[in-house]
Amino acid sequence: MPGGLTRRVSADVPLAIGASLAFVGYVWVLMHATVPLVTVFAFASDGHPKLYAAFLAGLAGLPGLLLTLPRAFTPPRPSVQPSVRSRRQASALRRSYVRTDVLGLAALLLAQVPLPAPWGPAGKAATIANITKSPEIVELSAMFANYSLAIFAVGILGAVVAKVYSHAAALRVLAIILVVGAPVVAWLLVVRAVS
């Protein structure tokens, strides 16, 4: 095994362990974040269900934005690739979306915190009811739990469209419209159903 490869493998092990510990810590924080997040949303919305739903829509739409916007705003690759002379030039030519993708995954997990999803803890709806004192907010939170998955699926679709069709400006704009429009449509559907 060459020395450079050995060094790279030995450097990747602490990074993988650190990333795993950070993920476990983040999940632990999210498991205890329902009360603070619902309290902040309830305070900021002043008990108005429509405004509370708008906060949920914004949080649910954030992962799609983080996945799509970097891809949509990256200019297309030139058809003729310049010659690469050094490793630094090669890494500059490679486009990586790892940071925003990790943030998108973190935002997806965060978006599930204030929602009483079927797979979530059984007492989450009761916690939301105790904090907000609003049956409408509890109902729209339960409805938004289902819509949040559809919003995230549209976010992934937008990211794929923006990446695959990076050469077509119109389709990149369409991807942005999709990821911005999905939470707005979900908000309208939830508000209409609850009011």
Residues 59 and 26 in one domain: no
- Percentage of the chain exceeding pLDDT 70: 82
Residues 131 and 141 in one domain: yes
Quote the pLDDT of residue 157.
Answer: 95
Residues 82 and 9 in one domain: no
Q: Using the predicted structure, report yes or no on whether residue 39 has a pLDDT greater than 80.
A: yes
**Structure tokens, 40:** 């902040």
Quote the pLDDT of residue 186.
Answer: 94
Quote the pLDDT of residue 13.
Answer: 73
**CA–CA distance, 49 with 42 (Å, rounded to integer):** 9
How large is the average pLDDT for residues 181-185?
Answer: 95
Residues 151 and 184 in one domain: yes
How large is the average pLDDT for residues 18-39?
Answer: 89
Residues 79 and 27 in one domain: no
**CA–CA distance, 180 with 158 (Å, rounded to integer):** 10
List, for residues 108-125, the tens digit of each pLDDT value.
999 989 988 766 666 788
**CA–CA distance, 186 with 54 (Å, rounded to integer):** 9
Please provide the DSSP assignment of 34-49 as one string: HHHHHHHHHHHHTT-H
Nearest 5°: the CA angle 22, 64, 44 is 80
Nearest to residue 148, comparing CAs of 179, 120, 186, 174?
186
List, for residues 60-109, the tens digit of each pLDDT value.
999 999 999 999 888 776 655 555 555 555 554 456 788 899 999 999 99
* Domain of residue 11, residue span: 1-32
Residues 16 and 70 in one domain: no
- Percentage of the chain exceeding pLDDT 90: 44
Quote the pLDDT of residue 23.
Answer: 86
Q: Using the predicted structure, report yes or no on whether residue 54 has a pLDDT greater than 80.
A: yes
Phi, psi angle pair for 133, to nearest 5° = 55, 30
Work out how many domains the chain is built from and give that number: 2
Residues 102 and 113 in one domain: yes
List, for residues 132-144, the tens digit of each pLDDT value.
998 899 999 988 8
Nearest to residue 177, comparing CAs of 158, 152, 151?
158
CB 23 within 8 A of CB 146: no
